């Protein structure tokens, strides 16, 4: 079941982002300057608000995918920098619109842009970043890249709408859940990776391999994210626990617990997640039911399955520090559950 990870530096070390971060360190610096430079506008509220969310933007995981993929494909130019910034702009725009949508008060432990500036500003600055991203792509001049990212953007929006529909619907099955996370999360991972092969002008089979890697990595990443929302580990990441529960989001741990539970348990899930009638002790009871049915543990197993597919997709590439870092990234995404 485990994934064989090809790490030069010690198999026992806890997987981390360190190798990947080190490999793209210079590139990501350049991307960060580009981001600051290109989100500028004479309308001061735009760089203020966008800067808030970009600064809070954590790991820069998605642009790092583009940067490392390009380097793994022996790309030696600079086009990947602007395109990595595009990917981050699309991600940031999605976050801003998510903040409106979920009425979430916290994102990465900081007050959400929404809470500080209001719904209106979040929607509009998201639109600005989204448009600016396309302007950057046009400057790059590749219709192929424009096609990949415009398609990804449409799919992301579809995924978010699907999520809207499945929220509060305990009848949601694992397939519908997968459709949602593929669209709203994994598609951008896939596109970010694929672009690396595109700028390096590698054959389509390598483009598709990187797409498959990104897609499966993204699925694993989102499953673990959803597990973390019911896990003590979450607190250490500065995110509150139980956000998904409060909103009635039907994530994989819920789906497994619901399907494995008896009729009385299903009444509990319907009351708390469909009717959103939640009281003292309900979150704890939900976690208890998940543990009873191994729902969290088995969600991680599902994530491992997608991680294994991501790993195998990279098989056609020669060994390289980037490939090793990509494989460690799979492990990192999954191991953060523990």
Q: Minimum distance from CB of 8 to a second copy (Å)?
A: 41
Q: Minimum distance from CB of 95 to a second copy (Å)?
A: 12
Q: Minimum distance from CB of 42 to a second copy (Å)?
A: 8
Q: Minimum distance from CB of 133 to a second copy (Å)?
A: 8
- Which CB, 26 or 127, lies closer to a second copy? 127
Residue 142: closest CA among 63, 211, 198: 198
- Which CB, 56 or 157, lies closer to a second copy? 157
Q: Minimum distance from CB of 49 to a second copy (Å)?
A: 9
Q: Are 196 and 75 in contact (CB under 8 A)?
A: yes
- Which CB, 159 or 261, lies closer to a second copy? 159
Query: How far is the C-alpha of 193 from the C-alpha of 187, rounded, in Å?
Result: 10
Query: How far is the C-alpha of 138 from the C-alpha of 231, rounded, in Å?
Result: 43
Residue 51: closest CA among 40, 64, 59, 61: 40
Cα–chain center distance at 286: 25
Q: Minimum distance from CB of 269 to a second copy (Å)?
A: 22
Q: Rg (Cα) of the chain, in Å, rounded?
A: 20
Residue 271: closest CA among 172, 168, 162: 168
> What does the angle CA 281 – CA 282 – CA 285 come to, to the nearest 5 degrees?
90
Extract the tokens encoding 31: 């991307």
Query: How far is the C-alpha of 13 from the C-alpha of 9, rounded, in Å?
Result: 8
- Which CB, 135 or 275, lies closer to a second copy? 135
Query: In terms of residues, how long is the chain?
Result: 338
- Which CB, 2 or 141, lies closer to a second copy? 141
- Which CB, 158 or 274, lies closer to a second copy? 158
> What does the angle CA 310 – CA 314 – CA 319 come to, to the nearest 5 degrees?
140
- Which CB, 183 or 257, lies closer to a second copy? 183
Q: Minimum distance from CB of 335 to a second copy (Å)?
A: 32
Give the residues lining the site for a second copy (CB under 8 A): 41-43, 45-46, 97, 100-101, 119-121, 123-125, 127-128, 130-132, 134-135, 137-138, 141, 143, 146-147, 150-151, 153-154, 156-158, 160-162, 164-165
């Amino acid at each position: 079941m485990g994934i064989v990870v090809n790490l030069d530096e010690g198999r026992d070390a806890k997987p981390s982002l360190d190798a990947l971060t080190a490999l793209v360190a210079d590139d990501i610096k350049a991307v960060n300057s580009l981001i600051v430079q290109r989100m500028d506008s004479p309308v001061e509220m735009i760089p203020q608000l966008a800067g808030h969310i970009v600064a809070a933007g954590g790991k820069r995981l998605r642009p790092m995918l583009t940067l490392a993929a390009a380097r793994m494909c022996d790309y030696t130019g600079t086009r990947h920098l602007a395109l990595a910034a595009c990917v981050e702009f699309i991600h940031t725009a999605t976050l801003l619109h998510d903040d409106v949508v979920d009425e979430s008060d916290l994102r990465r432990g900081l007050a959400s842009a929404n809470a500080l500036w209001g719904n209106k500003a979040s929607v509009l600055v998201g639109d600005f970043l989204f448009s600016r991203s396309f302007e950057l792509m046009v400057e790059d001049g590749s219709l192929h890249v424009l096609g990949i990212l415009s398609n990804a953007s449409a799919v992301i929006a579809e995924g978010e709408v699907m999520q809207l529909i499945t929220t509060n619907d305990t009848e949601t099955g694992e397939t519908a859940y997968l459709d949602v996370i593929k669209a709203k999360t994994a598609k951008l991972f896939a596109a970010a990776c694929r672009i690396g092969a595109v700028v390096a002008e590698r054959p389509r089979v390598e483009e598709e391999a990187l797409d498959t890697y990104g897609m499966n990595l993204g699925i694993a990443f989102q499953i673990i994210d959803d597990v973390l929302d019911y896990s003590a580990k979450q607190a250490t990441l500065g995110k509150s626990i139980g956000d998904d529960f409060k909103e009635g989001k039907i994530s994989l741990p819920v789906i497994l617990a619901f399907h494995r539970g008896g009729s009385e348990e299903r009444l509990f899930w319907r009351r708390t997640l469909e009717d959103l009638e939640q009281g003292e002790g309900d979150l704890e009871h939900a976690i208890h039911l998940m543990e009873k049915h191994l729902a969290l543990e088995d969600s991680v197993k599902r994530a491992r399955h997608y991680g294994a597919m991501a790993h195998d997709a990279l098989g056609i590439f020669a060994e390289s520090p980037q490939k090793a870092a990509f494989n460690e990234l799979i492990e990192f995404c999954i191991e953060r559950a523990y």
